[in-house]
């Protein structure tokens, strides 16, 4: 007989937070890339190598919270920022070939 564990995991809640992390990552990346694309559209002389002002990750995450009517109690900004950088660094490692087994990486 299996032993009864003394803890419980709320699986739907875990999936909710993981989904929010991924959605927030895409939202922030879209805002930051869209900002650069918009500047290059308005000012065609701007090159990819030029330094262009972009939206900070914190500001983009605040915009995400506002856009989806979330508050700090629903989705903590500090945790969202940590999740953004965790996903971003994982994708950079995949791109740069630091991860041999892409199937086993945890985003």
pLDDT digits (tens, 9 = 90+) for 37-91: 666 565 566 565 555 567 889 998 998 998 889 988 888 899 999 999 998 888 8
Looking at the structure of the chain, the number of domains it has is 1
- Written as six digits, the tokens of 29 are 């990346």
What is the pLDDT at residue 84? 92
What is the pLDDT at residue 4? 67
Segments forming the whole domain that contains residue 21: 11-100
With respect to residue 4, please indicate whether it lies within any of the assigned structural domains.
no
Confidence band for 19, pLDDT divided at 50, 70 and 90:
confident
With respect to residue 51, please indicate whether it lies within any of the assigned structural domains.
yes
With respect to residue 67, please indicate whether it lies within any of the assigned structural domains.
yes
Q: Which residue has the higher pLDDT, 28 or 50?
A: 28
With respect to residue 5, please indicate whether it lies within any of the assigned structural domains.
no
Confidence band for 103, pLDDT divided at 50, 70 and 90:
low
Spatial distance between the Cα atoms of 57 and 55, rounded to a whole number of angstroms? 7
With respect to residue 3, please indicate whether it lies within any of the assigned structural domains.
no
Helix (H) / strand (E) containing 85: helix 77-96
Could you tell me where the beta strands, DSSP code E, fall in 1-107? none
With respect to residue 1, please indicate whether it lies within any of the assigned structural domains.
no
């Amino acid at each position: 007989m299996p032993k009864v564990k003394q803890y419980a995991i709320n699986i739907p809640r875990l999936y909710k937070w993981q989904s929010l992390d991924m959605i927030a990552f895409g939202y922030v990346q879209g805002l930051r890339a869209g900002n650069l694309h918009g500047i290059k559209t308005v000012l065609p002389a701007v090159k990819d190598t030029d330094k262009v002002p972009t939206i900070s990750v914190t500001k983009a995450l605040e915009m995400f919270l506002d856009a989806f009517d979330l508050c700090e109690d629903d989705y903590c900004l500090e945790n969202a920022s940590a999740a953004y950088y965790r996903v971003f660094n994982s994708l950079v490692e995949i791109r740069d070939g630091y991860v041999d087994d892409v199937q086993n990486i945890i985003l």
